[in-house]
């Protein structure tokens, strides 16, 4: 919470209660929430926050590089506090999205893609998470 305020200040962003509520949740979750989920969670600590402020803050954090937006789900963008390169596993039953560390998979054969300048890539896996 105090950390969150500090982070916002470091970015040169005024730490308003609304921004703190959004950042505090979204930067401290392992999940991949949609804007709607962020809105709901932010209202727990800042009940009057509006949809517009949530979108503003999320887009701000993406611009500042603290957050990544992925279009992994149908219908809604999800936000990911993990900004390092990584892959994604999507559980087709629960809809849950799990991060897969970059080192866990290797992609080879890029030399076949001479026509393309590749700036970024990731593997998207789908299936079911085993009970654990």
Region of 2-10, 28-36, 40-48, 118-126 interacting with a second copy (CB under 8 A): 118-126
Per-residue burial over 96-123, b if 16 or more Cβ lie within 10 Å, else e, is ebebeeeeeeeeeeeeeeeeeeeeeeee
Residue 52 binding: pick among DNA, a second copy, none (C-beta 5-8 Å cut-off by kind): DNA
In degrees, to the nearest 5, what angle opens at C-alpha 10 toward C-alphas 76 and 81? 30
Strands (E), 41-85: 68-70, 78-80
35 touches DNA by CB under 7 A: yes
CB 57 within 8 A of CB 39: no
- The residue among 1 and 124 lying less far from a second copy, judged by its C-beta, is 124
Strands 68-70 and 78-80: antiparallel
Residue with tokens 């709607």: 36
Region of 32-40, 81-89, 104-112, 119-127 interacting with DNA (CB under 7 A): 32-40
**Ranges within 53-82 binding DNA (CB under 7 A):** 53, 55-57, 59, 75-77
**On the CB side of 51, how many CA atoms lie within 13 Å of its CA?**
3
- The residue among 14 and 108 lying less far from a second copy, judged by its C-beta, is 108
- Print the binding letters for residues 70-99 with a second copy: x by CB under 8 A, - otherwise: -xxxx--x-----------x--x-----x-
Residue 55 binding: pick among DNA, a second copy, none (C-beta 5-8 Å cut-off by kind): DNA
Q: Give the footprint of DNA on this chain (CB under 7 A).
A: 13-14, 16-19, 34-36, 46, 48-53, 55-57, 59, 75-77
């Amino acid at each position: 919470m105090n950390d969150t305020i500090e982070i916002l200040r470091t970015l040169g962003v005024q730490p308003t209660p609304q921004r703190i509520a959004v950042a505090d949740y979204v930067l401290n979750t392992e999940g991949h929430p949609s804007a709607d989920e962020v809105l709901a969670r932010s209202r727990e600590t800042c009940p009057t926050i509006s949809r517009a402020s949530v979108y503003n803050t999320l887009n701000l954090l993406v611009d500042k590089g603290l957050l990544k937006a992925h279009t992994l789900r149908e219908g809604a963008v999800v936000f990911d506090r993990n900004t390092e390169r990584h892959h994604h596993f999507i559980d087709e039953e629960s809809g849950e999205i799990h991060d897969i560390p970059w080192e866990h998979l290797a992609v080879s054969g890029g030399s076949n893609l001479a026509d393309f300048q590749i700036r970024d890539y990731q593997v998207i896996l789908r299936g079911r998470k085993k009970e654990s």
